[in-house]
Structure 1
C-alpha cells in the first residue's frame, strides 16, 4: 500500500502544473570584429515580450506588427536593461537599431539588432538577466563570433555571466551545456513529461483484448521494453529535430503545440481501451516526430559551425533521453511492485490516464482557439 501512495503522489505532481510549458528561449548573437568593435542581434519570442511588457493591445490573442512597433521603446528598454556587456570594469553603451521580426521553429520573434560603444581596453564580459525574474526556466542561447571563431553558451539564472572573446571552450564543457539543456527541456516541458508518464504507467502490463491488463512477471522484460520505447521516442524527435533546426522544415507552433496535446489525449485513452498499435515503441516513435518539432526551438537559429551543431544536437538528445530515463527510474519500480494490486489497475491507471487526457484536452482547446482557459506560458 505504501507503494500505491507513492505512485499516486507522483501522478498528482506530474499533473500539478496546469500550464503546459512552452519553452522560453531567446537567441543572442554577439560579434567581435578584428578592431574590437562589438555588434549583436537578439531574437526574443513575442509571447515572452507580451508577458513582460504587454504587446497585445486589443487582447485578441494575435500580436500584430503595428502592436509591436507601438511598444518598440518599451521592448528595447525592457530587454537592454537586462543585458550588460562590459569591457574591463566599465559597461558598454548598447545602441538598438532597426526593429524586425523573424520566425524560429514556428514561433514569431522580435529581432533587436544593436551596436555597442565600449572602452578601448580590457576583456569583454556579458551578464544576462532577461525573464529570469518571471520564468527561472528561461534559457538564453548565446552564440559568440570572435573574429571568425564561433562558440556557444547556454545562459541560465545560475550561469548568467560569461567572458567574451576567450576562444573555444573544451569539449566536455560544451557537451555538458547541451546535455543540461536537453535534460531541462524534458523535465520542464510538462506536456512532454506527461506524455512519457502516460506510457510508463502501463509499461508493466500486457494486453488481453482491448481493455484487460495482464501483469508482466519479468522485470527484465519490462525494463527492456521501456528502454526500447523511450529510445524510440528520442530517435524520433532527433530525426525531425535536425531538419527543423537547419530550417529544412518549419511547421508553425500553432499547429505543433495542439498536435503535442493530441498525442497525450490519444495515449491516455489508449491506456483505457486499445486504439493504437500494440507495440508501444511504434507509438512512441510516431508521436515522437510531433514532439521533436516542439523541441526545435531549443537549438533553432544559433548558427553554429557544423561540428559544433552536431555536438549540440547529439548532447541535447542525450539529455532528453537522460531525463526520460530518470522519470522511468521513479515510475517503473513502483509500477512493477503494484502491477498485481487491484487498486492500481482499476484506480491509479485510469485516474492518471483520464486525468492526463482531460488536461491535454484543455491544452488543445487553449492552443487551437487561444481561449486562455489556463495560462499556457511557463511563468
Structure 2
C-alpha cells in the first residue's frame, strides 16, 4: 500500500504548490543545476523550524549558528555510489520571503572529484522527522544543460514522514539545449516586452527624415535611411548587452520599479523626438544610452543563466541573439511601409500620429509604474500591441497604395516632410 501513500503525498503537494512563491507552511528547495555544482535555495517555515528543534529564531548570532548546524546535520547529498557532496552555506537568515517568516538559506553542493553533478540523491530529515504532516518540496529552478531557463516550475519530488531520500537524475548534459533555450527566451522576452519594441519603433519613425531649423523638413535617401536604421538597432543591442553582462558577471542590479519607469520615460522622449527633433543625428547614441536602461530590465532573467562562467556567457550570447532576431524581424516588417510613406505626402501625418500614440502609451505606463497599481488604459494598450502585426500589415498595404498612386507626380528631390 506504499503506492497509495505516495499518491496521497503527490496530491497534497500539487494542491499546495504556490503560483509563484512559497506561501504554504511547508518547506521548499529550489535547485539551480550547474556544470560542476548545485545551488539550493532553501526555505523552511520559521514556526515549524522552531517547533521541531526548540532552537531560538531571529537573526542573532546564536540563532543563526544553531540554524547552520541544524541544516548541515539534516541535509546531505550523495552520488549514486554514496560518495558525499560538500555543502557550503553561502547565506543564512530569518526573513519574510512570502507569507509567514521563514528560515532562508542559500547553499552550494559540490560532488566529489570525478562524480557527475547531474545524478544524485538528497537525504533530508529537517523538520519532517519531528512534524509528520510537514513535507519538503524540491523544484528545478534552472538547468542550463537541460534547456531549463524559463520560470516554469519543474517539480522533482517531495519528502514527508519516513520518506526522507529523493533520487534525482537530470540526464546527460547538453550545452546546445541551453543555448537554444537562451535564444528562445530572448525572443519571448522581447516579443512580450511591448515597451522595449515601442521604444525602438519610436526611434525608427523619423529615420527617413532630416532635421532643418528645428523641424523635420527634409528627407534622407534610401541608403542613408537603411544605415540609420542599422546604427540605431546595433547601438540599442550594444547598450542592453553591456548591462546584461554586468548583471551576470558583476552583479549589477537596480530595483525593478525605477528601471521600468526609466523605460517608459525613454519611450516618451523618443516619441517627442519623432514629433519634433530633440537630438537629430544622434539617435544611435541615444539608443545605446537608453539600451543600458532596457538591459537592466532584461537582467531580471540573469539568475536563470547557469552557474558557471561558460554557461552564463553562452546564455547571454543566445539571449541577445534571440532579442536581435526579433528586432531584425520588426525592422524588416515596418521598413517597407516607412520607406514607401517617406516618398508620399502622408509621411508627416503618419510620423505625427505614430509619435502621439507612442507618447500616449508611455504616459500611461509611467502613471501605472509610479502608482504601482494596474492601469486599465495601460492594460488596454498592452492588449492592443499584442495584435500589432495586423496593424503593420494594414499600414504596409496603405503605404504601397499611396506610394504607387503618388510616384508619378512626386519628385523625391523636392519632397517636403
Q: Same fold (TM over 0.5)?
A: yes
Inter-CA distance 30–115: structure 2 relative to 1 (3 Å threshold): farther
Task: Measure, in 2, the Cα distance between the counterparts of 1:238 and 1:41.
Answer: 28
2:376 match: secondary structure = coil
Could you say which residue in structure 2 is the equivalent of 1:143?
143
Determine the C-alpha separation between the residues in 2 that align with 1:202 and 1:161: 49
Distance 1:255 1:42, change over 3 A: farther
**CA offsets per residue over residues 237-272 of structure 1, 9 Å max, x none?**
111111123353221112101000000000000111
- Separation in 1, partners of 2:308, 2:20: 20
Match of 1:259? 262
Aligned counterparts, 1:188-337, within 5 A: 188-218=192-222, 220-246=223-249, 248-276=251-279, 278-300=281-303, 302-337=305-340
Which residue in the other structure is 1:3 paired with?
A: none
Unaligned 5+ segments in structure 1 are 1-23, 44-64, 73-91, 99-112, 117-125, 129-140, 145-149
Aligned to 1:69: 99
Question: How far did 1:376 drift?
Answer: 6.7
Q: CA-to-partner distance for each residue in 1:144-181, whole Å, 9 max, x for gaps?
A: 7xxxxx65523488x9899952121143x322211111
The equivalent of 2:351 in structure 1 is: 349
How many residue pairs align between the two structures?
A: 267
Report if the CA contact (8 A) 2:31-2:142 is conserved.
yes
CA RMSD of aligned residues (A): 4.0
The answer on whether the counterparts of 1:200 and 1:332 sit within 8 Å (CA) in structure 2 is no
In 2, Cα distance between the equivalents of 1:156 and 1:217?
A: 45
Equivalent runs, 1:95-114 vs 2, <5 Å: 114=136
Q: Is the 8 A contact 1:206 1:213 kept in 2?
A: yes
Aligned twin of 1:153: 148
The 5-angstrom pairing of residues 14-163 of structure 1 reads 29=31, 41=41, 68-70=98-100, 114-115=136-137, 142-143=142-143, 152-155=147-150
* Structure with the larger RCO, 1 or 2 (CA within 8 Å, 6+ apart): 1
Provide the residue aligned with 1:168 in structure 2: 173
Alpha carbons 1:181, 1:316 under 8 Å: kept: yes
The TM-score, its normalising length taken from structure 1, stands at: 0.60
> SS in structure 1 opposite 2:366?
helix
Change (3 A) 1:42 1:236: farther
Max Rg structure: 2
Structure 2-normalised TM-score? Answer: 0.55
Cα pair 2:248 2:299 within 8 Å, conserved: yes
Which structure has the highest helix share of the two?
A: 2
